[in-house]
A and B are shown apart, each in its own frame.
Chain A
Amino acid sequence: EPEVTQTPSHQVTQMGQEVILRCVPISNHLYFYWYRQILGQKVEFLVSFYNNEISEKSEIFDDQFSVERPDGSNFTLKIRSTKLEDSAMYFCASSEAQGGSGGHFTFGSGTRLTVV
């Protein structure tokens, strides 16, 4: 079964540093997403991306965050200046169609970001 792949699986960074989390969505999927899950808490939506632009973002996704699809396969999340509270598991997801059309979301295995 096709997979969403994420690298690295675990990243440790110092507060104030920039990090880039990488994702390769399923090849025929058109919609891409980032979610995060702070340890012990619920999965939270960050941003959705379609046709090379952000289609929706949450209040969490402030100016410190950005997303990019630099080529035909990768989808990246950049955090410019990390804070301790950015420590979380970050999940990339993709879907073939808009979710409300029955296309379910496939999640990657996540990147555990630890800010020290």
Chain B
Amino acid sequence: GQNIDQPTEMTATEGAIVQINCTYQTSGFNGLFWYQQHAGEAPTFLSYNVLDGLEEKGRFSSFLSRSKGYSYLLLKELQMKDSASYLCAGISGGYNKLIFGAGTRLAVHP
């Protein structure tokens, strides 16, 4: 099967660090994406992991462990504009299909 699980909601304080976890049970995922989606808008690309380990990009980092079927997105120095849904998505064996999780709605408070 191709299930992706992530928490439904999280809250955090401006300036803090938050980690959003994603677990997946899949046959044939070939990489893990993280997207940000503000309400009513398109998903925008944040990061992509194909190998195990940490990818860092400014305030955002993403980690992948393929053997554990686990990824996380780390957001540092949180800003109010980071309030959004964060979507974990695996790319299927066909390389042409993203399977999305339901998304984690992050609320950043002052």
Contacts and interface: CB of A to CB of B under 8 A. Distances in A.
Interface string A76-116: 00000000000001010000001111101111111000000
- Chain A interface size, as a band, is 20 to 34
A106 B42 CA distance: 9
B57 to A, nearest CB: 12
A105 B48 CA distance: 10
B2 to A, nearest CB: 10
B53 interface: no
A56 interface: yes
A14 B94 CA distance: 36
Contacts of A50: 96
A79 B50 CA distance: 35
Interface residues of B, number: 26
Given A44-B100, A56-B96, A99 B91 contact: yes
B41 A43 contact: no
Contacts of B50: 100, 102
B103 to A, nearest CB: 7
Contact of A42 (B42, B48, B94, B100): B100
A43 B43 contact: yes
Nearest to B103: A42
Contact of B94 (A35, A55, A102, A108): A55
Given A100-B91, A104-B33, A106-B45, A43 B100 contact: yes
A6 to B, nearest CB: 9
8 contacts: A42-B103, A45-B97, A98-B95, A99-B95, A100-B30, A100-B31, A109-B42, A110-B41
